[in-house]
Amino acid sequence: MLRDITLGQYYQTDSVIHRLDPRVKLVATIIFIISLFMVDNVIGYLIAAAFLACMVKISHVPFRFMVKGMKSIVFLLLIAVIFNLFLTPGEPLVTFWKLTVTKEGIRLAAMMAVRLVFLIIGSSLMTLTTTPNNLTDGMEKLMAPLKRLHVPVHEVAMMMSIALRFIPILLEETDKIMKAQIARGADFESGNLIKKVKSLVPLLVPLFISAFRRANDLAMAMEARCYRGGEHRTKMKPLVYHKRDRTAYAVLLAYSMICIYFGRFFKI
Amino acid sequence: MVIPMAIILDHVSHIYEEGTAMEVAALKDVSLTIPDGQFIGLIGHTGSGKSTLVQHLNGLMKPTSGHIYYNGADIHEEGFDKKELRSKVGLVFQYPEHQLFEVDVFSDVCFGPRNMGLDEKEVQLRAYAALKQVGLEDDYFYQSPFDLSGGQKRRAAIAGVLAMKPEVLILDEPTAGLDPKGRDEILDQIAALRDETGITVILVSHSMDDVAKYVDRIVVMNQGGVMYDDEPVNVFRYYKELEAVGLAAPQVTYIMQALKEKGFPVKTDIITIEEAKNEILRALGR
Amino acid sequence: MGIIEAKKLIFEYIRRDEEGNVEGITRAVDEVDLDVKQGDFVAVLGHNGSGKSTLAKHLNAILYPTEGTVWVDGKDTAEEKYLWEIRQTAGMVFQNPDNQIIGQVVEEDVGFGPENMGVPTKEIWERVEESLKAVGMYQYRKHSPNKLSGGQKQRVSIAGVIAMHPKCIILDEPTAMLDPNGRKEVIRAVRALNQAEEITVILITHYMEEIIHADKAIVMDKGHIAMQGSPREIFSQVERLKELRLDVPQVTLLAYELKKSGIALPDGILTYEELVEALPFRQKTDRILNG
C-alpha cells in the first residue's frame, strides 16, 4: 500500500558518479542549481543540458528511472508554466477571454520549465547515486565548521540516518495497524474531512506509541553500545578525497566558468 | 438440503509485483474448505504464506487469481459487503495489543461493534460479554489498556474482535512473546471459548507443540502452498519431512519414534504426554 | 572474583498514577546475589515480570542498584568513571531485533560499537569481519538489515556486541520474538561464542530447551532467586517449575510422569535419547537378544 515511494531512491549500480565522495556530489548539485538560475540565454541552457546529459550517461542510472520520479512533480511544473505564461506583462501575442499570452511570458515559462526539470533531474541524480548514509556523512562533514557556532551537526546527521533506517519499519507498521483496524470494521476512506481525520485516531495512537517504544529501545541499545555523542568517535568509513574527487572538482569549476561566461555575458 | 456454512478457497494465488523481476509468489494455487465449527491449526515457518493466507479470508487482501467464497458467495464479487464479512470472519493479528488505542479497555473493545453500526446498548453488552469470554476481570475494564500486563493486553485485544460476534475466529500467533504459563492460559481460553460457542477457530502458529492437543485438523504451509492437510496424528507421521522444511512434530512424536526404532512395541501416532505415558506403560506391561 | 558479581542487589522503582502522585514502590529485584565466572554459560529463567530483565540491565550499567552492589570485572557499576569500560566489558543484546540495529547496512551496524569506542578505522574493519564471521553472517555484510530474517537480525546484533571485544555478553530474551528456526540459529551462535571464544554468556530466556547446555541455571521469581543449580538439578523439580509459571521440556515431563507411575528412572532427563536409554525396555530386549 505504502511502498511505492520511488522519488530519489538510491539506485544500486557501479559508476564513477556512485564512487565519488558525497561531498563532491553535494557541492556539485548546489553549483549546478545556482548555474541554472544565473544563465539567461539559450547557449547557457544548452551547456547545462550537455553537462547534465553527460553526468546521467556516466552514472549508469537508466534515464527512464529518473523520469519515473518526475511524474510526481508534473503538477507543480504545470502550475509554474501556466502562471508565467499568462501573468507576465509585456508585448501581447494572443488573448483568450481575459488572459493574455505575451512574448515575455512564453520566454519566462519556457525558462522556468527548463530550470525546474533540470533541477529535479540534477538533484535526483545525487540521491540516486548516493546511499542515504553516505549522504548524511557528507552533510555532516561539509557542515562541520558550523559546530563552532554550536550547531549540533553530528546529532542532526545521526537523527537523519536513524530516521532513514526506521522509515521502512514504520511504514510497514502503519500498514499492519491499518489492516488490523479495518479487520475491526474501521473505515479510513468514506465520510467528510472531519470524519476522515477522526478515523485516523485508531491508526495514529498505536503508531505513536510504537514509535516511542522503538525510540526508547533504540536509545538504550545505543547507550549499551557505548554511544555518547560525536566526541571521541572514529569512523568505520571516513570520507577521504581521492584523485577522482579532485578531478571532479576541476570539472565542476570548468563547467561553472564556461556556463556563466556564455550563459550570462555572451551575446549573440 | 441444508448447505453447511463454510469458507472455500478455490485455486487462490497471490503474487507480489507480478510481471516484474521482483515477482514473489506468496500463495500458490491454494484450495481449501473450512467447514463451520472446525478447529484448525495453520502451521508454517516465517514466510511460508500463512499470514498472507489468513488476510485473504476476510478480504483484506485480494488474490491475484482464484476465488474465495463465504457461505457460497464470492467475496470479491461486486456488491458483496466486505464490512459485514470482516465482522463475520474476525482476524486477530500478531501482537494484537499493538492496536489498542482507547483510553480504557472497555471503550477499546467497543470499537468493533460500534463500527458495525449497532445501537449503544448492544455495543456495550457485546463488549462486556467478550471481555468475560477472554477471562478479564471487571477491575480492569476501566483501566488504560497500556497499564495492563502483556497477557492481559492480549486478552483485551482478542476481546475487541470477539465483540463483533464473528462466526470464524482467526488468531495469528496468539501466543508470540508470552511466557509459558501465559501461553497455556490463552490457548486454554480459546479452546474453552470454542467448546462453549462452537465457533470456527483457525489458529496460526509455527509451533506444533502449541496446537497439537487442541485442533481437529492441521494445515501445513510451505513456500506458499499447502503441504499437508489432515488430522494431527496423520500429519505428524511426516515428521521427517516436516523437519526438512524447518518445522518439527511435537517432541512426544520423536520419543515414540525413537522407541520404535530401537525395536520397542509402541504405537507412534501419539500427541500428548498423557497418551505417551499410557502407551509406554502398556508396552512395559504395567 | 568472578567476571560479574552482585551482592544483595535491590532495585526499586516508584509507581505513579496519571497525575504523577506516588502510588507505591515496586521492588523489581530483591536481594539478589550473583557470581559468574569467566567463561561460564549462565541461563536466567523466569516468567514475564519475574525481574529477570531488570536484573540483566544492571549488568551493564543501564540501571543502577537502589541498594547493594554490582561489580563487572571488579568494577562497581555505580561509579560513573567506569561506565564506558563496563559497557564495553559486558555487552548486551536485547529482545526486539528491529529496535537495536542502528546501521542501514549490516557491516555499518556492526562497526557502530567500535566507532563509539574510538577504535582506529583499520581495526574497525578487522573487528567487523571477524565478528560477522563468528556468527556466520559475513556473506550478508552488504545487506540492508530490513531484508533479513529475525534470527539473522539477532545474529547481526550479537556480532555488533562482539566487535566491541567484550568479556561477557548478556542476552535479554534474544529469541522471544523469533520462530523455531531463528531461535535455533541464535542459540547455536551463542554457544559457539561461549565455547570457541570463551566469552562469558548470560542468557535470559523463558524457553527451557535453550538452557540445556548451560553450566548453571538461575530461576527468578518475584525479584529474587527461586532456584539455582545445573540444568539437570533444575529440571528434576518439575512441580516447583510449574509453580513458578515455567515450562518443562516434554521429555522431562514424560519421564517425570512415568516415574510417578512407578518406573525407575533417573531425575532430570533432558533429551529423548536419554529417556530411550533409561527406559527399562533396554534390559528386556537385551534379554531377548541374549537369551
Instruction: Please provide the DSSP assignment of chain B as one string.
Output: -PPPPEEEEEEEEEEETTTSTT-EEEEEEEEEEEETT-EEEEE--TTSSHHHHHHHHTTSS--SEEEEEETTEETTSTT--HHHHHHHEEEE-SSGGGG--SSSHHHHHHHHHHHTT--HHHHHHHHHHHHHHTT--GGGTTS-GGGS-HHHHHHHHHHHHHTT--SEEEEESTTTT--HHHHHHHHHHHHHHHHHH--EEEEEES-HHHHTTT-SEEEEEETTEEEEEE-HHHHHTTHHHHHHTT----HHHHHHHHHHHTT--------SHHHHHHHHHHHTT-
Number of domains in chain A: 2
Query: pLDDT tier at B201 (50, 70, 90 boundaries)?
Result: very high
pLDDT at residue number C49 = 85
Q: What CA–CA distance (Å, rounded) separates C159 from C217?
A: 24
Quick check: is C241 in a domain? Answer: no
Give the Cβ contact number of residue A67 at 10 Å.
10
A 188-227: CB under 8 A from B: 201-202, 205-206, 209-210
Angle between helix A201-224 and helix A153-183 axes, rounded to 10 deg: 140
Does A268 have pLDDT greater than 60?
Answer: no
Q: Last residue of a domain, which of C204, C231, C258?
A: C231
Query: Poorest-confidence range of A71-80, A118-127, B54-63, B170-179?
Result: A71-80
Mean pLDDT of B103-128: 95
pLDDT of residue A203: 94
Overall average pLDDT of the A222-228 stretch: 92
Residues A233 and A179 in one domain: yes
Indicate the residue among C188, C204, C231 that finishes a domain.
C231
Which other chains touch chain B, taking contact as 3+ CB pairs less than 8 Å apart?
A, C
pLDDT tens-digit series, residues B97-115: 899 999 999 999 999 999 9
A25 and A140 belong to one structural domain: no
A49 with A111, same domain: the answer is yes
Question: In this model, does residue C177 exceed pLDDT 50?
Answer: yes
Average pLDDT (C67-96) is 94
Instruction: Name the band, by pLDDT with cuts 50, 70 and 90, for residue A69.
Output: low
CA distances to A181, B71, B86 from B120, rounded to whole Å, are: 20, 29, 20
Asked if residue C261 and residue C220 are part of one domain, the reply reads no
> C218 and C184 in one domain?
yes
More confident residue, C286 or B133: B133
Query: Is A154 in the same domain as A207?
Result: yes
Q: Are A229 and A175 within one domain?
A: yes
pLDDT band at B53 (very low <50, low <70, confident <90, very high): very high
Of C99, C108, C115, the CB nearest to A234: C115
Alpha-carbon distance of C120 to B41, in angstroms, equals: 53
Residues C256 and C133 in one domain: no
Domain contains C164 = yes
Give residue A264's domain range.
1-130+240-268
CATH code of residue C142: 3.40.50.300
Residues A113 and A148 in one domain: no
User: Do both C277 and C189 map to the same domain?
Assistant: no
Instruction: Supply the range of the domain harboring residue C264.
Output: 249-291
- A156 and A85 belong to one structural domain: no
| B164 pLDDT higher than 80 | yes
Q: Which of A180, A262, C26 is nearest to B93 (CA)?
A: A180
Q: What is the mean pLDDT of residues A187-196?
A: 83
pLDDT at A218 > cutoff 80: yes
Residue A6: the pLDDT is: 46
**Average pLDDT, integer, range C65-75:** 94
Residue, of C107 and C284, whose pLDDT is higher: C107
Domain count for chain C, please give it.
Answer: 2
Same structural domain, C288 and C213:
no
Strand pairing of C4-16 and B6-16? unpaired
Does residue C213 sit in the same domain as residue C264? no
Q: Are C85 and C78 in contact (CB under 8 A)?
A: no
Asked if C65 and C107 sit in the same domain, the reply is yes
What span, in angstroms and rounded, lies between the C-alpha atoms of B228 and B251?
Answer: 19
Mean pLDDT of A59-88: 81
At residue C282, the pLDDT reads: 53
Asked whether residue C115 falls in the same domain as residue C70, the answer is yes
pTM of the model: 0.87
Please check whether residues A212 and A251 belong to one and the same domain.
no
User: Could you read off the pLDDT of B40-50 as tens digits, one per residue?
Assistant: 999 998 888 99
Q: Answer whether A185 sits within 8 Å of B86, measured CB to CB.
A: yes
Q: What is the pLDDT of residues C110-147, one digit of tens each?
A: 999 999 999 999 999 999 999 999 999 999 998 889 88
Instruction: Tell me which of C274 and C16 has the higher pLDDT.
Output: C274
Closest CA of chain A from B101, distance in Å: 6
Residue C83, H or E segment: helix C83-89
Segment B220-235 mean pLDDT: 93
CA separation for the pair C12, C28 (Å, rounded) = 6
Residue C239 located in a structural domain: no
A122 lies in the same domain as A197:
no
Are A244 and A257 contained in the same domain?
A: yes
Note whether residue C16 is domain-resident: yes
In a domain, C236, yes or no: no
Report the residue of C18, C246, C272, C277 to disrupt the B interface, i.e. the one with the largest count of B CBs within 10 Å: C272
Residue A264: DSSP 8-state:
I
Predicted pLDDT of residue B1? 45
The predicted structure's pLDDT at residue C3: 92
C53 located within any domain: yes
Average pLDDT over residues A150-164: 88
Residues C112 and C170 in one domain: yes
| Spatial distance between the Cα atoms of A118 and A112, rounded to a whole number of angstroms | 10
Q: Do residue A173 and residue A200 come from a single domain?
A: yes
Partners of C107 on chain A (C-beta within 8 Å) are: 236
